[in-house]
Amino acid sequence: MTPPTPLRDLYERARATGRPLIGGHRGNPAEAPENTLASFRSALDLGVDMIECDVHPSSDGELMVIHDHTLDRTTNGSGLVVQHTLAELRQLDAGRGERLPLLRELLELVSGRAGLCIELKQIPIAYPGLEERVVGLLREHQLVEQIAVISFLHSSVRRLKELEPDLQVGILEGARPIDPVGLMRGALADIYAPHYGAMDPELVRAVHAAGGSVGVWTVDDEQAVAWCRACRPDSVFTNRPREILPALLQ
C-alpha cells in the first residue's frame, strides 16, 4: 500500500501550483452537527483534502473533539468539558443523536483519506500537558507527518514543535500584525493561519518568502472565495464544502 503523502509535501505542492488544499471546517457543519463523525464523514465524502477539528481534554485526560470550552451550545449537557469524565461526555447528544468523538476516532477516520488540522483550544482556559498528550497520540497512530496542529496560544504552538519537530504547526491570528513572519519564527511555526479577512497579498508573499504556508478560515461565500483567488493562500477551510470546494477549483 502506498503510504499517505506527508502534509508538508501537500502544502509544498499547493504553494508550487497555486491550487489550495480545501478543508472541511468542523467537518461539514452546514449539513451535519459540527465536529461529529457524521460531519467529518460528510466532508470526506465531498472530497475535501483536509479536515479541521477542535480539541479539549476530559477530566480524566481523554482528548475530545468539540469546539467550545463548554458543552451548552453544541450538546444537551452543560458546564465545562474539562470538568466531565469521558463516560459522562459520551452520554451526551451532540446533535441528531451523534456522540462527542474522541480524537483517536477521528484519526482512524481520516487516516489515508485526508490531512487533518487539529486546533488546540487553549484560550481562555489553558490545559497544561495537552501538547504532550496530542503528540503522544499522533506518534501512537504513526500520523505525525499527516497532521497539522494549530492554536491561538502561540506558546502552545512552540511547545508542540519543540516536542516533535516533524509535526507541522501553525499559529492562528485574527488581526493583521505588522510582522507575521516574526510571529511565526517566535512560535517555530510552519503555517500562518489567519481569518481570511486578515489576509492580503503582501502577507502571503512574505510568509512564502520565509518558507511558510498560509491557511485561512472560514471561507463560506463568493466574496471570500474571490479574496482567496486574489491572495492565493495554500489552504482554505470552509463550513460549506459542498458549495465552496467546486467554487475554489473553478
Applying CB under 5 A, the residues found at the interface with Ca ion are 54, 119
CB of 44 to ligand G3P, least distance (A): 17
Catalytic (active site) residue 84 = no
Q: Closer CB to ligand G3P, residue 53 or residue 181? A: 53
CB of 117 to ligand G3P, least distance (A): 7
Among Ca ion, ligand G3P, none, partner that 217 touches (CB below 5 to 8 angstroms by kind):
ligand G3P
Nearest by Cα to 32 from 13, 45, 47: 45
Would you mind telling me the total number of residues written for the chain in this entry? 250
CB of 67 to ligand G3P, least distance (A): 6
Q: Closer CB to ligand G3P, residue 60 or residue 221? A: 221
Residue ranges in contact with ligand G3P by CB under 6 A: 25, 52, 54, 67, 119, 172, 193, 217, 237
Contact 66, 58 (CB under 8 A): no
Q: Closer CB to Ca ion, residue 54 or residue 234? A: 54
Among Ca ion, ligand G3P, none, partner that 237 touches (CB below 5 to 8 angstroms by kind):
ligand G3P
Q: Which long-range contacts (CB under 8 A, 24 or more apart) does 42-48 make?
A: 43/241, 44/109, 44/110, 44/113, 44/114, 46/241, 46/242, 46/245, 47/245, 48/22, 48/23, 48/24, 48/114, 48/241, 48/245
Q: Closer CB to ligand G3P, residue 38 or residue 193? A: 193
Residue in 25, 56, 84, 154 annotated catalytic: 25
Q: How far apart are CA 36 and CA 140, in angstroms?
A: 22
CB of 119 to Ca ion, least distance (A): 4
Residue of minimal Cβ distance to ligand G3P: 217
Contact 150, 170 (CB under 8 A): yes
* The pairing of beta strand 147-151 with beta strand 115-120: parallel
Catalytic (active site) residue 67 = yes
**Any idea which residues carry the catalytic annotation?**
25, 67
